Structure 1
Amino acid sequence: MFKKNKRISLLQYWTSRYLLTLFIGLAIISLISAAWIRHTTFENRLELMEFLADETVYRLTDTTNPNNGPINGIPGFIGDRQRFNMKEIDPILYVVDTEGNILTSNRPVPPGSAKNVAGLLDGKEGTKEIKDGLEPEYVVKRKIENNHELLGWALVMEKKGNLTRVNQAYGQLAILIGALALLGWIAIYFLSKRLAHPIKQVAEAAKHVQEGNYAIDLPQYSKEKEIYELVSSFKNMANKLEQLEKTRTELLAGVTHELKTPVTSISGLLQAVRDGVVTGQDAMEFIEMAMVETTKMKTMVGDLLAFNHFAVDAIPVQIESVDVNQLLREAVAQWEVMQEDEHVKVHLHLLEKPVLVQIDIVRIQQIITNLLTNAKQAMDKGTITLRLIDHGEALSVMVKDTGHGIPLEDQSFIFERFYRGENKKYTVRGLGLGLPLSKMMAQSVGGDLRLIESNPSGTHFELVLQKATTL
């Protein structure tokens, strides 16, 4: 048993995945931002500690201030603890002599701190991390000198945890990331909804088309290029299917009518002969007319079979090299022999030199015959001009008549199978396979058949043939 996959809506599918991607991205940004905030905060607070140490040294060695005296007069200056309190941190400030004895500090000295402070003196200024205790600390050391004489040291100490604590900044970052996530989700939801809506409309329209209803209502304009192309292509497809459905209906009616007519004629003619309504020479003429109708019916059935075979590439072609001038002369001569009137004249314009083409002679003659027959049906009298044009690797047989032309609304459908224009539907018998079959035959030998132009003054077709590689 195959497990049926559960289908979810496009809106839910893309919203959930966009949202997951957004959250992952924001989480990565949050981690990077938190690390950056922690690092910059740590650097800034170390700079504050260094500033405090430098300021202390400056005030203790400033001889212009009468309140400042020798190093043993510092307690009054340091005693004002609030002066050195900082908003984010509250470091310990020690002023020690050259031996490491604590002279004063900005807070009570814990027991045993004197020994630890003395151990920090190594004769070098700078900032150093201390890992001796339970929690790492940072110490900033500055020399206190007077006239190049070392009087003592100013030490500023703070725990590493206090230097990197940024709870308020983390809270602000969390609010910012949360707001971005909410805005991102809203934007993704509405964008996905905007994308899903026309697709859903197309899906609904497809159901209507499946049921045979081609009158679909889809949005005419869309800012998104892909959505516009999807809707336009679907509407064109629906129109095409509607036209094909009409053509199929007309085909059934047309084939029924076209085959019924000769069958009825044959039946009536033979019944007249059988019942003795006509005898002698008249009976023979009736039989001949029945044979003509039989030939017409065989031709129509043959067209249907030939078209079906070409449609599935079931008919092989015999390619050979032929002089195109000779081919055209013979095809026109054969067609003219079959014509009963001389109201239509054919003018040939051949190439100056013999040129070989790679073709199937029978198929190309069929195409030429069909084009000439169509041209004759389009006019009571006039001329048909066939002109050969050499293009180098290929050449064209241009077939132009002086008939009434093909209506503009029919021109895009003339190569559709079983399509018959309004002008021919009730005046000329046939199945509407002549031009589609001719185009297939031309393409089967590497060429093509195209409508160049058609208007009330005439129609112009082009048959493209491939030239032979050698003479």
Structure 2
Amino acid sequence: MRDATMESRLQTAGLLGQEVADRVTSPEGQLTIPPKLDYIVKNRLFFFNIDEYICLMITDQKGDLKFSRPAMTEQQMHDKLTDDLSQPRDDRYVAITTPIDSNNEQLGKVIILQSKRALTYSPQEMMVSILLLALLILSGWLTLYLLSRKLARPLGSVADAAQQIRQGNYDVQLNIHTPEREIQQLVSSFEDMAKRLKHLEEWRALSLAGVTHELKTPVTSIKGLVMAVRDEVVVQEEAQEFLDIALKESDRMERMVADLLDYNAFASGSVEVRQDHIDLPVLISEVVYQWNLLHDTTRVHVTTDLPATSLYTIGDALRIQQIMVNLLNNSLQAAAPEQRLELHIRMYTKQQQIQIEVTDNGTGVAPEEQDYVFERFYRGEHKKRAVRGLGLGLTYSQLLAHAQQGELLLKHSSSAGTTFILQMPLSADTLSIQTAAYTAKPSFTMEALSKKY
């Protein structure tokens, strides 16, 4: 479009130059400037729709200036044109030259100077540019509008579902399928969160009922036993036996309350965890030895596979012993009736971690319960029937492991047995502190620790 416009205007300027050349040629064949030439040129510029800023010059055969529009001097003409008056000195302009001929003799020439920018300017091009710009703006606005509507619909559904969850309704079904990966991930994550919240809410209600029941049972038992002794329903040796039972029930309730207090204290960050250099093989060997002293070796057999060299970690010996005793007691509670419990403790290093595996041959954890063994107050169906408690042992143990930059995991479980893994960070000083073996005794008795966990 620009090239066509420039070609058209050059032709128009050439026609104007030819008309001016004809008008300045007299019938006698002489170069004569008509008195109204300036007026004629002005009208022609208007008629041909040529830009007002144009320079027209008429020179004679010798190159002397005879007419110019706008008016200029001879020197100004030579400043604009080269010495042969054929080309402009400024490359921003173009010169259209038309010879003035008469009887095969050149009388002079008409020179029209016009800027290249004015030649290439096109109202049609400007109109097309404006239309394209307007179309682009309209298309962009329409695209943004449609995209926002497309994105707003699933987000609005998610917002409505969030409002339902806020009101306590966790049964939300979004049924949104969108090609946008991020939106689909958001919807999927929200649905998973809603299911998880529903499960946690149901679990919270069941846990609260379970904890209440576990605490109420010994209270009711103690009350009944004491009332029987007070009212002399039982006397002498039988009364003494009732009091012993009541005392055991009060001890059990005391342990459950202590578990709740310990868990709440640790969860609130008020329990101190030391950061000492500990030789884990020595510590684990001591824990196993003392735990064995409290249990019948005819029913329980513990084997260990510990490194012969020292493996150091940074942690709290008391907390590590609590974790290990809790794992050993859990295995004892999961032992199959009329079967000797076989416990195997293995220690090894892996990727700058010290791995402690505790494996038993107990009844195992049901597959549907394995994802929840570390949840607070959770107790499997088998454990509910066999052992009384609050279900805080593994939860508390995992919190203790995390506080020491470690981890407590359920590796696998089946009807043939269960394996838990305690991971502790391998100290960078393991190789340099070979002579600093851990020999400190625990600040509590294993009997008291066993009773508590």
TM-score using structure 1 length:
0.71
List aligned pairs for 1:334-353, cutoff 5 A.
Answer: 334-339=290-295, 342-353=298-309
Quick one: structure 1 residues 217 and 55, their matched pair in 2 at CA, closer, same or farther if it must change by over 3 Å?
Answer: farther
**Cα offset, 1:292, TM superposition:** 1.0
**Cα offset, 1:415, TM superposition:** 1.6
**Cα offset, 1:387, TM superposition:** 0.6
Is residue 56–residue 68 contact of structure 2 (8 Å, CA) maintained in 1? no
2:202 equivalent to 1:243: no
Match of 1:454 in 2: 413
Secondary structure in structure 2 of the residue aligned to 1:459 = strand
Match of 2:167 in 1: 211
User: What are the superposed Cα offsets for residues 6-57 of structure 1, whole Å, 9 maximum, x if unpaired?
Assistant: xxxxxxxxxxxxxxxxxxxxxxxxxxxxxxx99x78865665467769999x
Is residue 55–residue 70 contact of structure 2 (8 Å, CA) maintained in 1? no
Match of 1:155 in 2: 111
Quick one: structure 1 residues 163 and 392, their matched pair in 2 at CA, closer, same or farther if it must change by over 3 Å?
Answer: closer
Q: State how far apart, in whole Å, the 2-side matches of 1:321 and 1:128 are.
A: 90
Q: State how far apart, in whole Å, the 2-side matches of 1:353 and 1:97 are.
A: 115
Is residue 31–residue 107 contact of structure 2 (8 Å, CA) maintained in 1? no
Quick one: structure 1 residues 315 and 102, their matched pair in 2 at CA, closer, same or farther if it must change by over 3 Å?
Answer: closer
Is residue 100–residue 108 contact of structure 2 (8 Å, CA) maintained in 1? yes
Provide the identity percentage: 36
**What count of residue pairs does the alignment treat as equivalent?**
398
One-letter amino acid matched to 2:264: N
Secondary structure in structure 1 of the residue aligned to 2:418 = strand
Match of 1:445 in 2: 404
Moved more, 300-309 or 330-339: 330-339
Match of 1:20 in 2: none
Match of 1:31 in 2: none
One-letter amino acid matched to 1:140: I
Secondary structure in structure 1 of the residue aligned to 2:152 = helix
Is residue 17–residue 97 contact of structure 2 (8 Å, CA) maintained in 1? no
Which of 211, 214, 219 lines up with 1:255 in the alignment?
Answer: 211
**Cα offset, 1:74, TM superposition:** 12
Quick one: structure 1 residues 385 and 87, their matched pair in 2 at CA, closer, same or farther if it must change by over 3 Å?
Answer: farther
Match of 1:405 in 2: 364
Q: State how far apart, in whole Å, the 2-side matches of 1:388 and 1:303 are.
A: 28
Match of 1:428 in 2: 387
CA root-mean-square deviation: 4.2
Moved more, 150-159 or 322-331: 150-159
One-letter amino acid matched to 2:174: L
Match of 2:37 in 1: none
Q: State how far apart, in whole Å, the 2-side matches of 1:406 and 1:54 are.
A: 105
Moved more, 425-434 or 441-450: 425-434
Match of 1:32 in 2: none
2:98 equivalent to 1:98: no
Which of 53, 78, 86 lines up with 1:125 in the alignment?
Answer: 86
Match of 1:363 in 2: 319
One-letter amino acid matched to 1:243: H
Match of 1:390 in 2: 349
Match of 1:169 in 2: 125
One-letter amino acid matched to 1:174: I
Is residue 450–residue 463 contact of structure 1 (8 Å, CA) maintained in 2? yes
Match of 1:291 in 2: 247
2:334 equivalent to 1:378: yes
One-letter amino acid matched to 2:61: T
One-letter amino acid matched to 1:405: G
Match of 1:463 in 2: 422
Q: Which runs of 5+ in 2 are unaligned?
A: 23-27, 33-45, 437-453
User: What are the superposed Cα offsets for residues 366-398 of structure 1, whole Å, 9 maximum, x if unpaired?
Assistant: 211211122222231342211111347441210
Match of 1:320 in 2: 276
Moved more, 336-345 or 395-404: 336-345
Secondary structure in structure 1 of the residue aligned to 2:372 = coil
Q: State how far apart, in whole Å, the 1-side matches of 2:264 and 2:364 are.
A: 28
**Cα offset, 1:176, TM superposition:** 2.5
Q: State how far apart, in whole Å, the 2-side matches of 1:418 and 1:365 are.
A: 22
User: What are the superposed Cα offsets for residues 321-347 of structure 1, whole Å, 9 maximum, x if unpaired?
Assistant: 343233223322333344468434222
